[in-house]
Chain A
Amino acid sequence: MFGYILKKIRYLSLKNKYMLQNTQPGENNSEPISPVLEINLEAIKSILHESSDVTIHEFNFGHERKNRGALIFINSITDKEEIHKNILQPLMYDVLLLKNAVGMDFNDIDTIRKNLISMTDNKKVAMLNDLLDSLLAGAAILLINGSKEALAIKSVKIKSRSIEEPGTEAVVRGPREGFVENVNENIALIRRKIKDTDLCVEKYVIGEKSKTDVCIVYLKSVANPKVIEEIRIRLKRIKTEAILESGYIEQFIEDCPYSVFPTVSNSEKPDKVAAKILEGRVAILVDGTPFVLVVPMVFIESFQSVEDYYARPFFASVIRIIRFLSYIISTLGPAIYVALTVFHQELIPTQLLISIAEGREKVPFPAILEAFLMLFAFDLLREAGVRLPKPVGQTVGIVGALVLGEASVQAGLISPIMVIVVSATAIASFAVPAQTDSGTVLRYIYLVLAGIAGGFGVIMGLLATLLHLASLRSFGTPYLWPIVPLDTAGLKDVFIRMPLWTLSKRPKAITWDSYDSYNQSPDLMPSPYNKDNNDPK
C-alpha cells in the first residue's frame, strides 16, 4: 500500500520534471525569423554555441550585388559540392543570365526558390526551431536579408554501406541482399520488391536529441487499419532522448514487456519483410540500423524461413518439423536429462541406464549442477565467441569446445553423456534464430524445475508456458495463432508447408476482416497443358 503511494508520488514528480525539461527548449527557439539578416545569424550562432563545423557563408548577389544573403550548413553532414553547384553558383552567377531579372524581387524567397534553386528537396521555414531542425538534419539554410522566411535545401551527404548479404540470416537459396543503415535505401529495397500504388510510407521523427527517422511501411488495402492506428498511437507515445537502434522502438511498443517471448519480429532481409508486408503486416524501419521491425508477430513465424517458400514443399516441411523439434530440444534437453537421471531412472532403457551410470561414476556433482556448469560454459563460449576479434574467436572456440570439453570428461568433472546433451542443445538452439533468446531463458527455468521436481516440475512449467503463450497478443493478433485459437485454414502453413498453389489466402488473423483475403487465384495447381483436358468449351 505504502509502496504503491510512494511509487505514485515518485511518478508524478518525475513526470513534472520531465514536462519542464520538455517545454524549455521549445519555448526558447520558437521565434519567427527576423527580416534582418544579422539578427538571425547572431541567434543561430549562439544557439549552436559557435560549433566549428558550422559554416556560415555571407554573400551578395543579384544584378547589382545589392541583395545580401547567407548560407548556413553543417559541413560534416552536407554535400559541399552540390551546395556550390546548385545553390551558390545559380544565385551568384547564373542570375546574371536571366533576361527579365530586372523585374524580379530577389528579397522574396519564393522568387529565388522558383527561378534559381535547382534542387528539388527544399522547403520554406518561418520559425527558428524549424530552421534548426532542418539544419541539423543535413539541410543548407538560405537566409535572405529582408525576408521573413528562409529556405531549407536538403543536401545530405550519404555515405551508405554497400548492400551485402546479412550476417544473421544467411540463406542457401534466395536473394543475397540485406538492409543497410540508411532508411531511405531500405525503403528503396522494399519498393523494388513491391511496385504497387498501395504501398504507403509514413515518416515519424522520434527522439528529442537523436531526431531519428522512423518509417512505417504497409500495404494500405491489406493491412488492418486498427493495427496501423495502434502503431501510430504507440509510436507517438515515445518521448525519449534518443533512438539508436530499432530495439529501442521494439521495447517501447511491444505488447507484453514482461514476457520472455518477443512480440515484435525483426529481419535484415528485404524479401522477408516484403513477404510479410504482402501478408498484411506493418514494417517499421528505423534510420541507422539494418534491422527492420515487423508487427504483428505470431509464434510460429519464428519457425518459418523464407527459404521454406523457395524450396519445394516436401523438403521445406521436413526442415520445418526439424526446426520445431530443435526448439523443443533446445529448451527441454538438459531438463529432461536431469529429470530422467535424478528422478525417473526406471524410464531409461536398462542398457542406456548402465552406460549413463558408468559415465557418471566419477562425477562428483549432482546432475543439475553438472548441467548448470556445462550450460554456463556453453553460453560463455558463445558470448565470448561473438565479442572476440574474428581470428582469435575461432581459436578460442576450438580451445573452449574441444579441449575444455574433452579435458573435463577425462578429468571426471563432467559425464560424457552430459557433454552430448549440452552440445545437442547448443546446436539446436541456433536452428530457430528468432526464439534463441527465449529458448536460453526457458532452458534455465526448466532445468531448475527439473532439478527440484523432476518430470512433474517440467510438466507444470510447460503448462504455465502454454497458458502464458496463449494469453499473449501482438497488436491484437493472438500470439499462438493458428494453433490457439484453432484456425484450420491457417494450419496449412504451420508444421508442414503445403504447396504454394494451395496457400491462396492471406492469414486471417493478420489481415483486415472485411478484406477479400485471396492473394492468388485458387486454381493454380500446375498441370501440363493437354488438349483433351483444357478443351475450351
Chain B
Amino acid sequence: MSIEKGKISNQQLLFLVAGFVLGSVLLVDFTVGITEHQTWMVILAGLAITAPVILSYVVLAKKFPGMNLVQINDMVYGRFLGKVISIYYIFFFSMTLSFNIRDVGELYITFLMQDTPFIFFLIVFTATCAYAVSKGIEVLARVSHLFVVSGLFVIVSAFTLLIDQMDFSNFLPFFELPFIRIFQGIHIVSVIPYGETVVFLMIMGCLNKTDHAVKKTFSGLLIGAVSLLIVAVRNTAVLGRTQTIWTSTSFQSIRLINIGTVLTRMDFLIGIAQTILIFFKCSLFFYALVVALSQLFGLKSYLPLVLPLAGIEVIIAATVFQSPVDHAMITLNAGIIYSAPLIFVFPPLSLLIAKIRGLPKLERGKGI
C-alpha cells in the first residue's frame, strides 16, 4: 500500500515537471563559469542525453503503477539491497533539498536583504515548504500551473524587455572552448535541472491514469528546457564575455532593463520568480524525502515526519557549507558525481531487471 492517497492527473504532471525544471533557473549560473557563451549548447546537449534516462523513469513508473521508488526498489532488488539503494536515494533527496534551501538563503543574503540573519531565511522558507508538504501532493499538483505560468511570465517579459540590449555576436565563435569543459558543463546540466526529475519516481505513483504520462512528462521537460534556454541565451546576449565575472548573471542582466527610465530595477521580479520556483522545487523534493523515509520505516502517514525533517534540513542547510563559493564548488565537483549513479544507472537498471524477471506480473499474482 502506498502512503499517499491523493491522485494527480496527467495534465498536472506536465506542470509539475515544468515547474520542477524551472526551479533550476538560478542554477544555470553555475555552468556559466565553465561553459561561458556556449551554455545554450550545453543545455540542449544535456536535454538530449537525459531524454532516454527520463524516458526510463516514466516507463518504470508505468510498469509499477501506484508504487513509489522505495517500493519499486524493494521489489526489484530484494528486501536488503533495495533498502540500501533507497537509503542512498533518501540521502540524495535530503542533500539536494538542503542545497536548494541554502540557495534561497544565499539569494537573499547576497542580493536582496544583506542585514538579515541567514538562518532566518532557511527557517521561514523550510517552514513554508513543510506546510506545503503537509497539504499533500494533490494540492501542490493543483497549483503547479500557477507557478509555471508566473515563472514563464517573468522569463519571457524579461527577455522581451532586454531585446534592445542584446548582441547576438556574443555567441561567436561557436566552438571555442576545449571539449573537456563542455563535457563537464553537460554533466552538470544533465544532473542538476534534468536528472533531478528522478524525484518524480516518488510522485508518479499517484497518477490516476498513466496513459499519456510519457508525452506529458516530455512536454513539461520541454517547457522547462526552453525557458532555461531563454534565460541562458538572454544572459549571454546581453552580458557577453562579462557574464563570467558576475555573482549572478540573471540578476545582472535584469538590472540592465531600462525602458524610458520608468521600467527599471526589475531585479525584484526575478527575485520573486526565483523564490517561488525554488519553493516549488524544494516542496517536491521535501515531499519525496518525507514519503521515501516513511515508506522505508513502514509508517501509515508521512505527516509525523514533516516537522522533524524540516528541522534537520534547516540544520544541514545552515552548516553544510562555509560560503556560497564553497557551495558552488562542492556541488559542481562532488555533487554531480555522487548523484550520477542514482540518476543514470539505477532507474534504467531497475527497468532492465524488472523486464528480465517479469516483475509486474508476479506482483499482480500476489495481489499486492
Give residues in A with beta carbon < 8 Å to B.
343-344, 346-347, 349, 453-457, 459-460, 463-464, 466-468, 470-471, 478, 483-486
Whether, in the assembled complex, B146 has its beta carbon less than 8 Å from a beta carbon of chain A, the answer is yes
Nearest Cβ in chain B — how far from A221, in angstroms? Answer: 29
Q: B268–A459 contact, CB under 8 A?
A: no
Residues of A close to B120: CB separation below 8 A = 453
Complex CA distance for A343 and B279, rounded to whole angstroms: 21
Q: B143–A460 contact, CB under 8 A?
A: no
Residues of A close to B140: CB separation below 8 A = 467
Q: A466–B146 contact, CB under 8 A?
A: yes
Minimum-distance CB pairs A-B, first 5: A471-B139, A460-B128, A470-B143, A471-B135, A484-B142
Overall SS of chain B's interface: helix
Supposing A466-B143, A478-B142, A484-B143 touch, asked if A456 and B135 sit within 8 A by C-beta, the answer is no
Whether, in the assembled complex, B202 has its beta carbon less than 8 Å from a beta carbon of chain A, the answer is no
Select from chain A the residue with minimum beta-carbon distance to B120. A453
Q: A456–B108 contact, CB under 8 A?
A: yes
Q: A346–B265 contact, CB under 8 A?
A: yes
Supposing A347-B268, A459-B275, A460-B125 touch, asked if A453 and B143 sit within 8 A by C-beta, the answer is no
Which residue in A454, A456, A484 is a CB contact (below 8 Å) of B146?
A484
Residues of A close to B116: CB separation below 8 A = 453-454, 456
Q: B112–A455 contact, CB under 8 A?
A: yes
Q: A344–B276 contact, CB under 8 A?
A: no
Complex CA distance for A486 and B8, rounded to whole angstroms: 13
Q: B268–A455 contact, CB under 8 A?
A: yes
Select from chain B the residue with minimum beta-carbon distance to A456. B108
Nearest Cβ in chain A — how far from B326, in angstroms? Answer: 23
Residues of B close to A349: CB separation below 8 A = 264
Q: B124–A460 contact, CB under 8 A?
A: yes
Nearest Cβ in chain A — how far from B259, in angstroms? Answer: 13
Q: Residue-by-residue, is B1-20 near A (CB-CB < 8 Å gives 1, otherwise 0)?
A: 00000000001100000000
Complex CA distance for A453 and B118, rounded to whole angstroms: 12
Supposing A463-B279, A483-B146, A484-B146 touch, asked if A470 and B124 sit within 8 A by C-beta, the answer is no
Q: Which of A349, A453, A485 neighbours the largest number of chain B CB atoms within 10 Å of its CB?
A: A485
Nearest Cβ in chain A — how far from B11, in angstroms? Answer: 8
Residues of B close to A343: CB separation below 8 A = 112-113
Whether, in the assembled complex, B324 has its beta carbon less than 8 Å from a beta carbon of chain A, the answer is no
Q: A459–B265 contact, CB under 8 A?
A: no
Q: Pull 16 A–B residue pairs with CB atoms less than 8 Å apart, ordered by A.
A: A346-B265, A349-B264, A453-B120, A453-B121, A453-B124, A455-B271, A455-B272, A459-B276, A463-B128, A467-B131, A467-B132, A467-B139, A484-B143, A484-B146, A485-B12, A485-B142
Which residue in B135, B264, B271, B272 is a CB contact (below 8 Å) of A467?
B135
Whether, in the assembled complex, B145 has its beta carbon less than 8 Å from a beta carbon of chain A, the answer is yes
Residues of A close to B112: CB separation below 8 A = 343-344, 454-456
Select from chain A the residue with minimum beta-carbon distance to B271. A455
Nearest Cβ in chain A — how far from B108, in angstroms? Answer: 6
Nearest Cβ in chain A — how far from B127, in angstroms? Answer: 8
Complex CA distance for A346 and B276, rounded to whole angstroms: 21
Supposing A343-B113, A344-B112, A347-B268 touch, asked if A456 and B142 sit within 8 A by C-beta, the answer is no
Q: B265–A347 contact, CB under 8 A?
A: yes
